Amino acid sequence: MKNIVILISGRGSNMEAIVRAAIPGARIAAVIANRPDAAGLAFAAHHGIDTRVVDHKAYPSREAFDEALAAVIDGFAPDLVVLAGFMRVLTNGFVEHYAGRLLNIHPSLLPSFPGLHTHQRALEAGVRVAGTTVHFVTPTLDCGPIVIQAVVPVLPGDDEAALAARVLVQEHRIYPQAVRWFVEGRLSVEGHRVAVLDEAPGPAGWTVPPTGA
């Protein structure tokens, strides 16, 4: 059984998707938020998951907050730490402490559009497709080895909200898949590439949603 700790800042819809997936061999040990009013805490508690709050406003620096956060996380002996809408830039020391066991999801097809305002930037760039990426976290923001991606079309008349909603559907599909692969021991990081052991033939780490998704 692999212990998983999920970090959220708000609703944590990707956390919900992972919990609802009921991945065999995975135990959601805790959901931790950096905001006391994070709505996802109620969902986690309702599902019998331990919850904690480490309020970043109570700490004088990012380093102090990350140190306190890591202490709480480590109390649950995690095999994997999952960032699910956790809106904090983590220090290098924190990232290195969880190297190889820290996953994030980003709402673009990395390496395109790292950072914030991804959907608006995609629309302004005139791209024909957008999407989402699950990746291992490294000290460089949104640049870690890619585990899986999903692509969605950019449709005529799309605005930021419409595109974001279409991408979010795919986030909820691929994040549980990435966690499942980790729990099954099927992810192998080779340099900056991730191999999925026993993956079906096709482009590694790339998934196209079913028609109508």
* Per-residue pLDDT at 198: 83
The predicted model gives 173-192 an average pLDDT of 96
pLDDT, tens digit (0-9, with 9 covering 90-100), for 134-149: 999 999 999 999 999 9
Task: Label each residue of the chain as H, E or C.
Answer: CEEEEEEECCCCHHHHHHHHHCCCCEEEEEEEECCCCCCHHHHHHHCCCEEEECCHHHCCCHHHHHHHHHHHHHCCCCCEEEECCCCCCCCHHHHHHCCCCEEEEECCCCCCCCCCCHHHHHHHHCCCEEEEEEEECCCCCCCCCEEEEEEEECCCCCCHHHHHHHHHHHHHHHHHHHHHHHHCCCEEEECCEEEECCCCCCCCCEECCCCCC
CATH class in words for 106-213 = alpha beta
Four-way CATH pick for 1-98: 3.40.50.1000, 3.40.50.170, 3.40.50.1100, 3.40.50.300? 3.40.50.170
Domain ranges of the chain: 1-98, 106-213
- Give the pair of three-digit tokens for residue 65: 């907050």
* Per-residue pLDDT at 207: 60
Do the two domains 1-98 and 106-213 of this chain adopt the same fold? yes
The model's pTM is 0.93
The predicted model gives 117-136 an average pLDDT of 98
The predicted model gives 183-211 an average pLDDT of 75
Using 50, 70 and 90 to split pLDDT, how confident is the model at 211?
very low
Determine whether 106 is an active site residue.
yes
Q: Is the pLDDT of residue 206 over 70?
A: no
The predicted model gives 89-118 an average pLDDT of 97
pLDDT, tens digit (0-9, with 9 covering 90-100), for 73-88: 999 999 999 999 999 9
* Per-residue pLDDT at 213: 37
- Please identify which of the residues 106, 119, 135, 172 carries the catalytic annotation: 106
Q: Is the pLDDT of residue 204 over 50?
A: no
Using 50, 70 and 90 to split pLDDT, how confident is the model at 188?
very high
Residue 33: φ, ψ to 5° = -120, 150
Q: Is there a contact between 32 and 73 (Cβ–Cβ < 8 Å)?
A: yes
